[in-house]
Amino acid sequence: MKIALCIKQVPDTTDIRWTENNTIQREGVESIINPYDVYAVEFALKLKSEIENTEITVFTMGPPQASDMLRKVLALGCDDAVLISDKKFSGADTYATGTTISGAIRRYLPNFDLIICGQFAVDGDTAQTGPNIASFLDIPQVTYVKDLIHGTNKTLTLTREMEDGVETVKVKLPALICVLQQNFEPQRAKIAGIIKASKKEIKICTLDDIGFDANKVGLRGSPTFVSKAFRNIPTHNAQKFNLNTTDSVNLLKERIQTLGENKNA
């Protein structure tokens, strides 16, 4: 089985900055792997351990610094990595991002069997990029995947979360799945894996490599745009507290006592 694993580097939520176009600044900002993508990595590694001759190629779109994140994933047991990086890709919305990533997959892993993405990215929370990739590649998709029941190099049987329960789905490959957060602690890289990853070549994918028109990618190729961006700073006292029941009761008693003292003064 050949797996294309799509992950994303997101800015630390305490250090978000915006560009002049109101898109999130990626370069020179402290970043982490998107939390949902951590479980997408685990899902891919689980398939690799259960299905013989499985190879995982990791794709990410971002600035050169994202290569550090790719090496961390390679250290866990993934086989190859592609960094989709070009100034012309900057400012892409989910539509342009899906266009670009699907083009990179066609270029570097044309005979893929499965594409795995995290369900959400915490810097956007739209859940649109994975489905966009599936649409551009004209393959079936299964979203909100919670667990793998059984997998072969031809089909996957999965459970997915629904609003009113859990659904079991069998999908024929090639396909794309979007993975939710799981109820386990993700594994950590071992020293041997880190050493091996440090020697791996990371392929760099530019606009010329995928052969797209510059007007179809990045900010130019994005049909949506952010008209305004701001950090939400709570102004009401009730928004400044994260309290349990006991704390809330004690706070209320203090406020009532203070009001009573002011009234009697």
pLDDT in tens, 44-83: 999 999 999 999 999 999 999 899 999 999 999 999 999 9
DSSP state, residue 213: -
- Tell me which of 3.90.180.10, 1.10.760.10, 3.50.50.60, 3.40.50.620 is the CATH number of domain 2-216: 3.40.50.620
The size of the chain, in residues, is 265
For the stretch 125-153, what's the b/e string if a residue is b when 16 or more beta carbons lie within 10 angstroms of its beta carbon? eebbbbbbbbbbbebebbbbbbbbeebee
Q: How confident is the model at residue 236 (pLDDT cuts 50, 70, 90)?
A: very low
Contact 35, 79 (CB under 8 A): no
Q: What is the pLDDT of residue 139?
A: 97
Q: What is the pLDDT of residue 239?
A: 46
The mean pLDDT of the chain is 84
Extents of the domains making up the chain:
2-216, 234-265
The reported pTM is 0.78
Q: What is the pLDDT of residue 50?
A: 92
The residue whose two tokens read 């560009």 is 19
Q: What is the pLDDT of residue 238?
A: 47
When pLDDT is averaged across residues 108-136 and rounded to a whole number, the result is 90
Q: What is the pLDDT of residue 224?
A: 80
For the stretch 9-19, what's the b/e string if a residue is b when 16 or more beta carbons lie within 10 angstroms of its beta carbon? bbbeeeeeeee
